[in-house]
Amino acid sequence: MMCMRLQFKSAIYVTRPILPPIEKMTAKLMEIWVSHRLTNNGPQHRLLEAALIDRLKVHTLSLFNNGTIALIVACQSMRLSGEVITTPFTFAATPHVLTWKNIKPIFCDIDPVTMNIDATKIESMITPKTTGILAVHVFGTPCDVDVIQDVADRYGLRVIYDAAHAFGVEINGTGIGTFGDISMFSFHATKLFHTAEGGALTFNDKNLKSRIDLLKNFGIKNEEEVVMPGINGKMNELQSALGLVLLDCIDEERRKRKAILSVYRKCLNGIEGISFQEKDIPGVESSYQYFVIKIDEKIFGCSRDQVHEEFKQYNVFTRKYFYPICSEYACYRHLSSAHRDNLPISRKIASEVLSLPFYGDLNQDDVEKICEILLEIRARG
């Protein structure tokens, strides 16, 4: 029998976007209304680019209307073609971007602890057609950036990081967006920092800025010259304004999520069959983007799928990020790198992971209740 006390009155989702105080947003909107400037590199856009360079500790940044278009432009700006080595344990956007660029994604297995691409396996997947590596800092945990760069340097490959989950991540004080050739951040509503929809590319090569900005604006150089086949990747002034106002709320949201993380760790510690990242990684500043557990069915007594399904009866909507792995999508399963024998760790991890609700508006009682529900689901078998 389900304990009614544990059922939430209203739905608890995996995340809930932060929103700024409405009066601050209204003041920003007034500026836009007065200026009549709605898009195309307006003042809010310029202010947000400058603010984010500072915040992310990066050298150069270009804003986009979403992370997926940003990633397409990153591949185009690096002139990637042929084959690119990537991870199957990611959101659909990562391999889809390659496909949209007519590039064949080559799936490499992942590390069982970080859940990121296994950097030691990349070299064995390189062929004469390989032009780059598209690695993902999954759930904000940094990839093995040194090993990846070493392989890339030895084979003359480009490195693009999908840092969609990695806003604010630093390695020993260095912004995560400074590694590789280009990094992509997503500012989708589900991200800690967001602009409802949005994204950015960050890179060290300042000369790349003009090419990337041309690519996101149809390749238009001036009224009479279109110098390359660009796309419309521009972030508008309303999105930029939301981002500017939200930047002031980020520190508090991070503090709240840090407190929630410690409640989860305390409540789940020692439960057999449940594993999660128990400690902060030394030298790494977290993104506080997701809280993910792994459920070992044999030890815990219930499968991940059962837990995910039963949580719904309590009005808790967890997510199986990232199941199924991308290599199992109909559009990719024919690839030889998608063969199950090539990806044993990815398949195992994808069958165990569960993202639990994780956002600042949750309070300690909510988190304790979610953990109690997990135990009740196990007890009910």
Binding positions for ligand T4K, rule: CB under 6 A:
13-17, 66-68, 90-91, 93-94, 136, 162, 164-165, 186, 188-190, 199, 317, 319, 321
Nearest distance from C-beta of residue 199 to ligand T4K, angstroms: 5
Task: Please list the helix, strand and coil fractions of the chain in percent, rounded to the nearest 5, in that order.
Answer: 45, 15, 40
CB of 90 to ligand T4K, least distance (A): 5
Q: How far is the CB of 332 from ligand T4K (least distance, A)?
A: 15
CA distance 53 to 83: 31
What are the structure tokens assigned to 353, written together?
Answer: 């992971």
Output 94 or 240, the one with its CB closest to ligand T4K.
94
Rounded distance, CA 14 to CA 166, Å? 17
Closer residue to ligand T4K (CB): 20 or 199: 199
Query: Measured from the CB atom, is 20 or 378 closer to ligand T4K?
Result: 20
Q: How far is the CB of 254 from ligand T4K (least distance, A)?
A: 18
> Measured from the CB atom, is 311 or 321 closer to ligand T4K?
321
Q: For residues 173 and 179, is the Cβ–Cβ distance under 8 A? A: no
Q: Which is nearer to ligand T4K, 16 or 221 (CB)?
A: 16
d(CA 101, CA 76): 8
Least distance from C-beta 66 to ligand T4K, angstroms? 4
Considering the complex, state which of residue 236 and residue 300 has its C-beta at the smaller distance from ligand T4K: 236
Minimum CB distance to ligand T4K, residue 87 (Å): 9
Q: 79 CB contacts (<8 Å, ≥6 apart)?
A: 131
Which residue reads 């997926």 in tokens?
Answer: 68
Cβ-proximal residue to ligand T4K, closest one: 67
**HSE, side-chain direction, 13 A CA sphere, residue 5:** 5
Cβ count near 112 (within 10 Å): 13
Cβ proximity to ligand T4K: between 293 and 378 the closer is 293
163 token code pair: 């840092």
Shortest distance in whole angstroms from residue 43 CB to ligand T4K:
23
Contacts of 111 (CB under 8 A, 6+ apart): 117, 118, 119, 144, 345
Q: At what angle do helices 67-77 and 93-100 cross, to 10 degrees?
A: 40
